[in-house]
Homo-oligomer: A and B are copies of this chain.
Amino acid sequence: MSPATSAAPLNGAPARMYLPIATEMEQVEETFRREMHSSYKYVDELVRYGVMLGGKRLRPALLLLTARAVGEVCPAHITLATVVEMIHTATLVHDDVLDNAATRRHLATVNARWDDEASVLLGDFLFSHAFYMTAAVDAAACRTIGRATNIVCEGELRQKGSRGCFELTEEDYYGIINAKTAELTAVCCELGARYAGASDAVATNMQSYGRELGIAFQIADDLLDFTGEEHETGKTLGTDLQQQKPTLPLIHTLNNTASAAERVAILDLLADQSPVTAILPHLDANGSLEYARQQAIAFADRAIARLESVPASPAKEVLRMLPDFAVRRSH
């Protein structure tokens, strides 16, 4: 078994040592820490806390793995990998205000430890610092990162606008998760490839890999809101339902499989803010949990197929594992 495949690669610090990009991931951490500081004590404590709030560092890992799979990792990759994690952290910090969340990955959220105001401003600080850093690369990177971030925001707004819209179609759902999640993972892989000197064809392929991985990941993540073990996911089950956020299993049942009578019964349950345990049997009986699982697997498989455009390498091996890993979480 090669070092690259001997452990789940993104699941905590020790396993990082097995990544073919372990040194570069350390450089990203160092860069993130070095950039997030202030001469003013209050600001300094807050922005340093921001560095710890990110999670699995999936996005920088994707960017660096793609770079390594295509060619060589260069200083622009370290900058851009730090930038994508900074932007992701900004969206998490703002999400936590909106969700009124108290903890994230066993750490108090900024809104819990400071307040909403500090969270909004920290998110803005992270966004603007990320854009400032990107400018050290070139204008094309600024355009790509600016555009992707804007699409992420639009996706989050679309999702917000669709709260309580239980007539949402699968197409709408895919449009939303494509924007709010897959746009950034797509851009990670595109930038990783481009700054390693990839041809347009390879860069486009890697962008598609990142997009399909992101979609697979989000379907699986949404499924966990119905079927996850709280002690494993660290999340409260049924949060999406509570927020009236329709995701794939529910959309599938309501639009594709439920009878008119069952549909009305489910909509009544939703209107009554019923717990997830009241909805789950309907989704299960309609095969919608399994349907969502299969859709996630299909996107994961499509992502893996994109890797044919790059030669065999330890980095490619990890990229091949990631979609399975993303989907397996929901099994």
Assess whether B46 is in contact with A157, with CB atoms less than 8 Å apart: yes
Q: Which of B40, B149, B153 contacts A154 (CB 8 A)?
A: B40
Q: Is A232 positioned at the interface, with any CB of B under 8 Å from its CB?
A: no
- A125-B153, A133-B146 are known contacts; what are 8 more A-B pairs with Cβ within 8 Å? A40-B157, A42-B158, A98-B121, A132-B150, A134-B146, A135-B140, A135-B142, A137-B139
B-side contacts of A161, CB under 8 Å: 40-43
18 A-B pairs with C-beta separation under 8 A: A40-B154, A40-B158, A43-B157, A91-B124, A98-B117, A98-B120, A120-B123, A121-B157, A121-B160, A124-B153, A128-B153, A131-B131, A131-B149, A132-B149, A132-B150, A134-B142, A138-B139, A142-B142
Bound: A42/B164 CA distance, A? 13
Q: Is A129 positioned at the interface, with any CB of B under 8 Å from its CB?
A: yes
Name the distance in Å between A13's Cβ and chain B's nearest Cβ: 29
Number of interface residues of A (CB under 8 A): 49
Q: Is A94 positioned at the interface, with any CB of B under 8 Å from its CB?
A: yes
Assess whether A143 is in contact with B147, with CB atoms less than 8 Å apart: no
Q: Which of B42, B43, B46, B94 contacts A120 (CB 8 A)?
A: B94
Minimum-distance CB pairs A-B, first 3: A42-B161, A132-B146, A135-B143
Name the distance in Å between A36's Cβ and chain B's nearest Cβ: 11
Q: Is A136 positioned at the interface, with any CB of B under 8 Å from its CB?
A: yes
Q: Is A76 positioned at the interface, with any CB of B under 8 Å from its CB?
A: no
Assess whether B98 is in contact with A157, with CB atoms less than 8 Å apart: no
Q: Is A97 positioned at the interface, with any CB of B under 8 Å from its CB?
A: yes
Max count, chain B CB within 10 A of own CB: residue among A90, A125, A162: A125
Chain B: CB-nearest residue to A114: B160
Bound: A160/B125 CA distance, A? 14
Q: Is A23 positioned at the interface, with any CB of B under 8 Å from its CB?
A: no
Bound: A145/B129 CA distance, A? 10
Name the distance in Å between A119's Cβ and chain B's nearest Cβ: 9
Q: Is A11 positioned at the interface, with any CB of B under 8 Å from its CB?
A: no
Interface flags for A81-97 (1: CB within 8 Å of B; 0: not) read 00000000011001001
Assess whether A43 is in contact with B154, with CB atoms less than 8 Å apart: yes
B-side contacts of A90, CB under 8 Å: 124
B-side contacts of A162, CB under 8 Å: 42
Q: Is A118 positioned at the interface, with any CB of B under 8 Å from its CB?
A: yes
Max count, chain B CB within 10 A of own CB: residue among A41, A124, A133, A161: A124
Assess whether B38 is in contact with A154, with CB atoms less than 8 Å apart: yes
Name the distance in Å between A144's Cβ and chain B's nearest Cβ: 8
Q: Is A127 positioned at the interface, with any CB of B under 8 Å from its CB?
A: yes
Interface flags for A45-76 (1: CB within 8 Å of B; 0: not) read 01000000000000000000000000000000
Assess whether B121 is in contact with A42, with CB atoms less than 8 Å apart: no
Q: Is A317 positioned at the interface, with any CB of B under 8 Å from its CB?
A: no
Given A42-B161, A150-B132, A157-B46, decide whether A94 and B124 contact each other with a Cβ distance below 8 A.
yes
Q: Is A156 positioned at the interface, with any CB of B under 8 Å from its CB?
A: yes
Q: Is A324 positioned at the interface, with any CB of B under 8 Å from its CB?
A: no
